[in-house]
Chain A
Amino acid sequence: MIQYKVMPARPQRDLETTPFHEYVLDDDTVWTEFYRAGDNYLLRFPGLADFDVSADGSEVTAHPAEGEDGADEATLEHLYVNQLVPLAMSRQGRPAFHASVVSVPGGVVAFLGQSGAGKSTLAASFALHGSTFLTDDALIIEESDGRHTALPSHASLRLWEDSVEALVSPEIQKAGPISYSTKARLLAGDALNYGSEALPLLAAYVLGSQDSDDVVIEPVNGLDRYMGWLNNSFLLDIEDNELLSQHFEWTHRISGAIPTFTLDYPRDYGKLPQVRNAVVNHVKNHGS
């Protein structure tokens, strides 16, 4: 689906054009710059790496940035799996969303949300207690004959240190940290269960940002439901009308087909078993 190459490190030279789009973090740091390069694209992660993406999203070429802050192998791989793959897939017309995905009886559920919403913590909690995780940040959905399947992504999770301390036993293998983040990277293994098989997507839970005294799950309908998916979707080219049309349509199909709910819960590691049970019981009665 994607041909991926890694080239030797090179300087991030000044570009003659301005980016047509940017991802900016909450602290106003520019995370990603999107440039046009003829019919193709160049995605720049300042200080880390540039990626060439072909016009149809089928080829990605990585150019790590020269210098001590440039992306090392682990960082490059992480950028490719969690950023470039879903963006390139979106260019190919494949729906891609910011979500973690975990197994439940009968299939999987997705936790939709931006960075910091709790996707990875929930995924780790499930994967450490009998379930598997398929991805901690990039949900690719395959549609076929009205059925929606979640595809597995990279077999690693990233957690903030407090989550690691609360959830993770020493036997779980850690990989080298990503250079741009202090999150710990945990590799799937015997204790942290990874699911490598595509499974039916039974429900989606849009994570609330507020702490809650109890686990509260509410249905989302209409425009709020559509926007819940839209606001957590990957889209490589926001100016391409044909792609925007496809994006509009697939968001409509998916938001209509997948039972979607909001999930608010106590941000207390001790309450995670309660959250897991609530989700498992809820999807049993309300999932596809």
Chain B
Amino acid sequence: MEAELNLESTLSIPPQVMSRLVGEETVILDLASGIYFGLDGVGKRIWEVLADGNTLGQIAAVIAEEYEVDDARAKADVVEFANELLSRGLLETA
């Protein structure tokens, strides 16, 4: 079931999830499942900003500025992406 995330939501990376930058991509390992993931581009940037403890709204503002997209688009994309990561156990609600 998708969590009710909003722009005030803060998510954190669970202790069993490891990530490292490899070149221009971030490699993520979920120790609970043993599955590896890769993030590049916008996904990688969202992960970085999220790891700093920002709200989804703050993350969207960063994405909108850095990628020159409108605020509404950035917000929708960030919330959707966060839900995806949450559903895979790579994030947890703070």
A279 contacts the other chain (Cβ, under 8 Å)?
Answer: no
B: contact size bracket: 10 to 19
- Measured between beta carbons, the chain B residues less than 8 angstroms from A197 are none
- Measured between beta carbons, the chain B residues less than 8 angstroms from A4 are none
What is the chain B residue whose CB lies nearest that of A239? B34
A: contact size bracket: 10 to 19
Distance in angstroms between the alpha carbons of A181 and B40 in the assembled complex: 43
Is B31 touching A256 in the complex (CB atoms < 8 A)?
no
Expressed in whole angstroms, the minimum distance between the Cβ of A170 and any Cβ of chain B is 47
Per the 8 Å Cβ criterion, residues 10-54 of B in contact with A are 16, 18, 20, 22-25, 27, 29, 31, 34, 36, 38, 40
Distance in angstroms between the alpha carbons of A106 and B78 in the assembled complex: 48
Is A226 touching B22 in the complex (CB atoms < 8 A)?
yes
CB contact under 8 A between A245 and B18, given known A222-B38, A223-B38, A230-B36: yes
Stretch from A60-68, A122-130, A247-255, A280-288 at the B interface: A247-255
Expressed in whole angstroms, the minimum distance between the Cβ of A194 and any Cβ of chain B is 34
Distance in angstroms between the alpha carbons of A135 and B27 in the assembled complex: 29
Distance in angstroms between the alpha carbons of A46 and B54 in the assembled complex: 53
Distance in angstroms between the alpha carbons of A239 and B31 in the assembled complex: 8
Is B29 touching A256 in the complex (CB atoms < 8 A)?
no
Expressed in whole angstroms, the minimum distance between the Cβ of B48 and any Cβ of chain A is 15
- Measured between beta carbons, the chain B residues less than 8 angstroms from A226 are 22, 25, 27, 38
CB contact under 8 A between A244 and B27, given known A230-B36, A256-B22: no
A-B contact count (CB 8 A): 44
Is B31 touching A244 in the complex (CB atoms < 8 A)?
yes
Chain A proximity mask over B65-91: 1 for CB below 8 Å, otherwise 0 = 000000000000000000000000000
Expressed in whole angstroms, the minimum distance between the Cβ of B42 and any Cβ of chain A is 15
A172 contacts the other chain (Cβ, under 8 Å)?
Answer: no
CB contact under 8 A between A241 and B20, given known A223-B25, A223-B38: no
A182 contacts the other chain (Cβ, under 8 Å)?
Answer: no
Is A252 touching B20 in the complex (CB atoms < 8 A)?
yes
A169 contacts the other chain (Cβ, under 8 Å)?
Answer: no
Is B34 touching A222 in the complex (CB atoms < 8 A)?
no
Distance in angstroms between the alpha carbons of A221 and B25 in the assembled complex: 9
Expressed in whole angstroms, the minimum distance between the Cβ of B30 and any Cβ of chain A is 10
Q: Which residue from A225, A227, A245, A252 sits with its C-beta under 8 Å from B31?
A: A245
CB contact under 8 A between A222 and B18, given known A238-B34, A244-B34: no
Residues of B within 8 A of A (CB): 16, 18, 20, 22-25, 27, 29, 31, 34, 36, 38, 40
